[in-house]
Amino acid sequence: MFIVLLSPMALLPWFPGVASGGEAAPSLRSLASPLELSIGTCVNGRTLRSDGEYRRVLAREFNSVTSENGMKWRAIQPRRGEFDFSRADALMEFAEENGMAVRGHTLVWHSYNPAWLEEGEWSPEELRGLMREHIFKTLDHCRGRVYCWDVVNEAWTEDGGLQKGTVTGRSGSVWPRILGEEYVELAFRLAREADPDVKLFYNDFGFEGMNAKSETVYAKLKASLAKGVPIDGVGLQMHVSLDDPVKPEELSANIRRLGELGLEVHITELDIRIKEPATEEDLRNQARLFSDYLRVCLEDEACPSFTLWGFTDRSSWIPGFFEGYGSAAPFGRDLNPKPAHGAMLEVLRERLES
């Protein structure tokens, strides 16, 4: 009973997207679902709408989705008090049609906020009210359709300060600037009040291995839990560079200690960027890392969810943000699998057979 409650995977079909009439080749999803592993990817709303091949591979390979941008504040409340759930609805409908779980991303962040929010002259009281309204409306709309939320995204820096974000002409986003550290705890308490059943996550980058930031985030989460802040889990983003990857053994140690705090640990945004042009050796090394990270997650019961930040190089944020880098996903621009895909299938197969 406990497992069923914890795992959205237990409720989902195993073999969706099987080609009619023929023997289905194994997909990530077909092997992960019997293991009750959420195997997910972020989804670009525009590509989902326009690209049938993208939709077909997405439904075949994954049993969990995250909206890349469509559930962020700027998408949901572009003008004050005007809520637009069309992008969120499109993804939730696709997920429901294809028996997929939805991870919610994200309620409070210092980025991708509408100008009216970032440029307003808010008193702390007004800003708390805006946060409350946004969280309540969003959780209410998505109730029962989104099983967990990244409530707060990227709050802390490695020295324990608040991540300010870059907002033109200001010394940081409204949340840290006007509310200070209080905003993190407030967001979790409001989310719990708005929906007692949804799982609440803190999501961040750069603290996946053992380093100064992972010490800080661990200490912050521990202190928050001791104060009764309702945090159910932690998301390790894992935007990795092949030049300097997160060490699998450090990831494993970090997942273990976060799990010992009683937290669920999700890999939320994995991609492994390569300096272009990617060589065959690069792709083999990338494949090894994807499979090592997946193995680490499968080996720890605290880690039931493994999500990529995009599954195909056809639709990837990497080239736009890291000049000269790309090839970060396990499927190419042509949507054919790269070595990383086969390497992850192999890990899932091993696990099923063990």
Question: Which is nearer to ligand G3I, 238 or 289 (by Cβ)?
Answer: 238
SS3 258: helix
Sign of the torsion angle spanned by Cα atoms 106, 107, 109, 111: positive
C-beta of 29: minimal distance to ligand G3I in Å? 22
Q: Does residue 37 contact residue 305 with C-beta atoms inside 8 Å?
A: yes
C-beta of 189: minimal distance to ligand G3I in Å? 22
**What is d(CA 291, CA 280) in angstroms, rounded to the nearest whole number?**
17
Q: Which of 54, 73, 147, 317 binds ligand G3I (CB under 6 A)?
A: 317
C-beta of 257: minimal distance to ligand G3I in Å? 22
The 10 Å CB-count burial string (b at 16+, else e) for 66-88 is bbbbbbbbbbbbeeeeeeebebb
**Residue 61 a catalytic site member:** no
Other beta carbons within 10 Å of 148: 25
- 246-to-78, 103, 297, 321 alpha-carbon distances in Å: 36, 24, 14, 19
Residue 253 corresponds to which tokens in the numbers above?
A: 């140690």
Q: Which of 61, 118, 269, 313 binds ligand G3I (CB under 6 A)?
A: 269
The catalytic residue among 68, 118, 154, 264 is 154
Question: Which is nearer to ligand G3I, 153 or 291 (by Cβ)?
Answer: 153
C-beta of 205: minimal distance to ligand G3I in Å? 6
| Interface with ligand G3I: number of residues (CB under 6 A) | 10
C-beta of 48: minimal distance to ligand G3I in Å? 13
Question: Which is nearer to ligand G3I, 72 or 177 (by Cβ)?
Answer: 72
Q: Which of 47, 69, 241, 285 binds ligand G3I (CB under 6 A)?
A: 69
Q: Which of 30, 54, 63, 68 binds ligand G3I (CB under 6 A)?
A: 68
Question: Which is nearer to ligand G3I, 238 or 287 (by Cβ)?
Answer: 238
**Residue 154 a catalytic site member:** yes
- 148-to-69, 162, 353 alpha-carbon distances in Å: 16, 24, 30
The catalytic residue among 269, 276, 281, 346 is 269
Sites for ligand G3I among residues 294-313 (CB under 6 A): none
Return the range that interacts with ligand G3I (CB under 6 A); candidates 28-36, 66-74, 89-97, 113-121. Answer: 66-74
Residue 294 corresponds to which tokens in the numbers above?
A: 């997946």
In sequence order, what are the residues at sequence separation of 6 or more whose Cβ sits closer than 8 angstroms to the Cβ of residue 330? 290, 308, 311, 337, 338, 340, 341, 344
Q: Does residue 131 contact residue 108 with C-beta atoms inside 8 Å?
A: yes
**What is d(CA 269, CA 266) in angstroms, rounded to the nearest whole number?**
9
Cα atoms in the 13 Å half-sphere on the side-chain side of 124: 9
Sites for ligand G3I among residues 183-242 (CB under 6 A): 205, 237
Q: For the window 104-143, what string marks contact with ligand G3I as x by the rule CB under 6 A?
A: -------xx-------------------------------
C-beta of 182: minimal distance to ligand G3I in Å? 22
Which chain residues interact with ligand G3I by CB under 6 A?
68-69, 72, 111-112, 153, 205, 237, 269, 317
What is the set of active-site residues? 154, 269
